[in-house]
Amino acid sequence: MLLRENPSAEAIEAWIIQLRREFHRYPELSFEEYETQKRILKILGDLGIEARKIADTGVLATIRGKLPGPCIALRSDTDGLQVQEELTERNSEYISRNEGVMHACGHDGHMAMLFGAARLFQENLDFPGEVRLIFQPAEEIPPGGSERVIAEGGLEDVDVVMGMHIFTNHESGSVGLRPGPFMASTNRFEIILTGKGGHISKPESCIDPVRMATDFMSNFYPALEKQLESDKYIIGVGRIRGGAQFNRIPDTVEILGSYRTFDRETTDIIDRTIKECLDEVVKRYAKPGEEFSGFPDYELDILHGYPVLVNDPVFTDAVNSKLQESFPELTVYPEIEKTFAAEDFASYLQKVPGIFISLGNRNPEKKILEINHSCTFDIDEEILITGTEILYTVSLDFLKNPEKYLNSQSNFNLEPLKKRLKTDR
């Protein structure tokens, strides 16, 4: 790695690991990251980096080079999860001190790596343009903190954006890239089926919402399977709730579930199929008579959360080329498999071109095998310097050679950047 040739590399790596452990000890839930925010502002202040608060509990910072040029935004998420961390043979020194909250998704490592890249830029300002640092809150809860950051001007004058996520689905220190759709959209649905309750001995006087729910579930999955290939979506019901007494047909049953897709067309098909199956159930269970007027019925609430995360193909190809050139010993997967995991970084990529990189964390020798969100999830801390170097090296290359990373046929308006670059040069 390039940084390891630097005499101060060992000190920088130790500093990054120390920061990761500090953040890990004191995780905070989404939009409750007040102490985390204070710590971020303190570290940035010590580095001499200009910063301000954004999105309530987030931080936005700026590092300006000595020369004019483009602007790249680097983003880290900051929130923890509602998980009780378990003691392992590795984490005794840095296990969470906040009861019931844990950095179980690598956000502590993401912050540390972003600080590492920031320190490298701040120690050598001889570069063109600007580096925007986004320490974003509330990645874990839809609609996500990214929407707040964008609404409050976090992407103003930003030309491209880059982020990185630690995952245990490929080996420690390897890098996964994916041009185009990479991570799925996340969508939530809630259904309230309304029947007509009454004593179980008089079913003719009732409309049973439990049977309605059963019929809906029996028909819904096959209806989707007829329309969609299995790799296009994933769907599941997390809760069915209704009734309170063994000898009474309840008035309502609630169904709560979610689904994930890689394109809007698939999302629309699932939305439509849910409604069509509900309409069929209501029609099937309708009964004549004034006493059944208005019954049965349903309420449907669909929340479309994070959009599909789409990496810019040209930007991704340029990143791949730069990694191959600068880090020949690095294992790079140029087309890693798509994942049904979701990320609100997708919202940034809807505004400006860029990339979201997967940094491998799986290390059987160190017994680091647990997937993200596990109560024993941990990070192979040797990868933190790798992620830092990648963020720094790719960002610096973009600032010096932006044309390599931009597509003249892009869906984004690149004319302001092109005019600015022409003027600067």
Helix runs in 4-56, H state only: 9-25, 34-47
- Cα angle value 179/183/189 (rounded, 5°): 150
First to last CA, the chain: 32
User: Among the options 28, 381, 389, 392, which is catalytic?
Assistant: 381
Residue in the block written with tokens 């049904």: 340
User: Among the options 94, 233, 259, 306, which is catalytic?
Assistant: 306
The values of phi and psi at residue 72, to 5°, are: -115, 135
306 is catalytic: yes
- Closest by alpha carbon to 343, among 308, 369, 300, 382? 308
Spatial separation of the C-alpha atoms in residues 193 and 270, rounded to whole Å: 18
- Cα angle value 47/49/53 (rounded, 5°): 120
348 is catalytic: no
Side-by-side strand order, sheet with 252-261: 233-242, 252-261, 185-194, 297-304
Helix-strand-coil percent breakdown of the chain, rounded to 5?
Answer: 40, 25, 35
- Write the single-letter amino acid at 419: K
Spatial separation of the C-alpha atoms in residues 193 and 188, rounded to whole Å: 17
- Cα angle value 332/345/165 (rounded, 5°): 40
Spatial separation of the C-alpha atoms in residues 292 and 13, rounded to whole Å: 71
- Closest by alpha carbon to 11, among 108, 123, 93, 91? 123
The values of phi and psi at residue 63, to 5°, are: -120, 120
Tokens of 189: 């649905």
183 bridge partner residues: 309, 339
Show which residues are catalytic.
306, 381
